[in-house]
Amino acid sequence: MAEMNEKSYSRLERRRTVGASLISILIGLVTGSLLILIVGLTTKNIGLSGAWEGIRLVFGGLFSTGRDMATGVLTFGFNPNTFGNMLFRSTPLILTGLAVAVAFRTGLFNIGAPGQYLMGICVALLISLSIPSSQVSPVIIWFLAFLGGMLAGGLWGAISGALKAFLNINEVIACIMTNWIAANLVTLIFSGSNLRNLTENTKSAYIYKTSVNNVATAKLGLDKIFSDSQVNGGILIAILLAILISVLLNRTVFGFELRATGSNRYAARYAGIVDKRSIVLSMVIAGAMAGAAGALYGLSGNTEFYWSTYQSLPGVGFNGIPVALLASNSPIAVIFTGMFMAMLDISGQQLKNLTGYNEYLTNIIISVIVYLSAFSLVIRNFLVKHDDGVSRALSSLGNSLRGNKRKGAGK
């Protein structure tokens, strides 16, 4: 009976969590739609009809196939190009989302995903472009580069974890410092390397694509389904890693130790769990996920890495934070929230290409969603009160019916 109650409570909590995320998304989309309507009505070359098109693209930009050549009307359907590009863009978002979610589940705020991402892409590019594919199989080079990127990200995350575990230095401060150290370190490494693209005068600040060395992530047939897109097997790797992380956290003793340490470090230590080891290893795992994101991006074969990273940190590392927040730090939910964020990015492009709107309107929508996801606890509390009200009403109704039956039996 206790087990059934525990399962029922767990299902109820999951339902409330999902409900809070969906409400955040809905409010964000509605807010964005109102903004699009206001901009449309106050702009002469857009008007009400253009505003309606903008709203349709925000909700269904992923399915947009352009405009009819004869009538100029927006058309919708399965667009393999946008679907494939959405999957390609969601790959690093899923993995950096996992990097943040794993740390959150163990009581840590991993804001160091950008630095871990940079170290991952740096090592992956160094390995993939330094080993001659004429002597070593490109498949072997790819595996070495991918594993090297994950290892580099994991070791970079371990620095912040060790500072937290042994010196009690706040992980946020440690992560911020390691982010900028990584940015300048990567710049130093690539600025003096022979991997810079010097064959194209306009690309001297970029590293060669890995396709130069015939090393690229396999398409695995996805290019036939999503033709004319950047999609490759990286999305399948990201999904697999999310599943493995979910199993690790929820189905293993090691995962329980990590979560216990996150809930109460000192209580975990009293129970015999080595809390310092758990903190360091959780940041290693988190860093490895961000490193994998960087490695897959660099190894896609069709991307160019801008080595002058000291100018700014990669936004994809920070974008993992809203992905994890919206997923309530669930590794499986991160898959869907990562895809949702990538879908909004695609919608922004469609908004720019097919209407008179600026694509950054979708960034406002994302900002609203992120802001609300940070207040998901408030929304969940509202749902709790709502559930309690419904439960009381049903209970009163049941008592009333049972009382009527007793009266009828007495007569």
Delineate the domains of the chain, giving CATH numbers in brackets: 13-75+356-392 (no CATH), 80-343 (1.10.3470)
The sign of the torsion formed by the CA atoms of 45, 49, 55, 61 equals: negative
The beta-strand segments (E) located in 168-310 are 206-207, 305-306
Run of H or E residues at 22: helix 2-41
Amino acid letter for position 77: G
- 215-243 per-residue burial string, b: 16 or more CB within 10 A, e: under 16: bbbebeebbeebeebbbbbbbebbbebbe
Structure tokens at 163: 């500072």
- CA-closest candidate to residue 105, choices 331, 317, 323: 331
* pLDDT digits (tens), the chain, 411 positions: 444 455 565 666 667 777 777 887 888 888 888 888 888 888 888 888 888 988 898 888 889 988 888 888 889 899 999 999 999 999 999 999 999 999 998 889 999 999 999 999 999 999 999 999 989 999 999 999 999 999 999 999 999 999 999 999 999 999 999 999 999 999 999 888 888 888 887 788 889 999 889 999 999 999 899 988 999 999 999 999 999 999 999 999 999 999 999 888 888 888 899 999 999 999 999 999 999 999 999 999 888 888 776 567 888 888 898 899 888 889 999 999 999 999 988 888 888 888 878 777 777 777 777 777 666 656 666 666 666 554 454 455 556 655 554 555 555
Structure tokens at 175: 């992560």
- Coil, helix or strand for 208? coil
Structure tokens at 7: 């399962």
Q: What is the 3-state secondary structure (H, E, C) of 347-378?
A: HHHHHHHHCCCCCCHHHHHHHHHHHHHHCHHH
CB-count exposure of residue 119 (10 Å: 0-12, 13-18, 19+)? buried
The confidence score (pLDDT) of residue 1 equals 45
Cα gap 213→345, rounded to integer Å: 31
User: What are the CA-CA distances from residue 74 to residues 70, 166, 370 (Å)?
Assistant: 11, 59, 29
Q: Say how many residues make up the chain.
A: 411
In this prediction the pTM is 0.88
Amino acid letter for position 234: G
CB-count exposure of residue 183 (10 Å: 0-12, 13-18, 19+)? buried
2-41 and 361-374 helices, crossing angle to 10°: 150
125 forms beta bridges with none
What is the DSSP pairing of strand 305-306 with strand 206-207? antiparallel
Backbone angles phi, psi at 36, to 5 degrees: -60, -40
Within 8 A by CB and 6+ apart from 373, the residues are 20, 21, 24, 322, 325, 326
